[in-house]
Amino acid sequence: MFDIGFWELMIIGILGLIVLGPERLPVAIRTIRSWLSSAKNFSEGVKTELKEELRVNELHENLKKAEQSDLKNLSPEVAESLKSLKEAAEMVTRPYENSDTEKTLANPFTDNIKDEPSVKDEHKLN
């Protein structure tokens, strides 16, 4: 990235040791490392957001193309964009539905009911 070789790093380290001293040099290195990691995390976040915005923009353009052609004779890329938009719309309209969780989750109201006689059955028994 910076094209710094071994000898350049050695000179920077020796100068840092002379200027800061052995007590403050490790603290300065940790501080610089934390600044660099936070800058890297920030740049990764910006990059991810830009990619997402570009993808959304592309999907909107493809949707406009699909609407102009009345959803007929679509190119594969436009058809794929339309399919992903439909899937996203379905996820938004039904966010809590999931066929796997519906099958595995039990109804807490009906699971606690045992085969006990009801109040009507108790009156008949007496």
Q: Average pLDDT per run of 10 along the chain, which is 126 residues long?
A: 83 91 92 96 96 87 77 75 78 65 50 51 53
In angstroms, the first-to-last Cα distance of the chain is 89
- Find tokens 């794929």 and name the residue: 80
Residue 74, classed as helix, strand or coil, is coil
Look at residue 83 and give its three-state secondary structure: helix
pLDDT for the residue 67: 76
Contacts of 20 (CB under 8 A, 6+ apart): 28
Q: Report domain extents, the chain.
A: 6-93
Q: Looking at residue 123, what is its pLDDT?
A: 53
Tokens 């109804």 locate to: 107
* pLDDT reported for residue 92: 72
pLDDT at 59: 80
pTM of the model: 0.50
The answer to whether 71 and 82 are in contact (CB under 8 A) is: yes
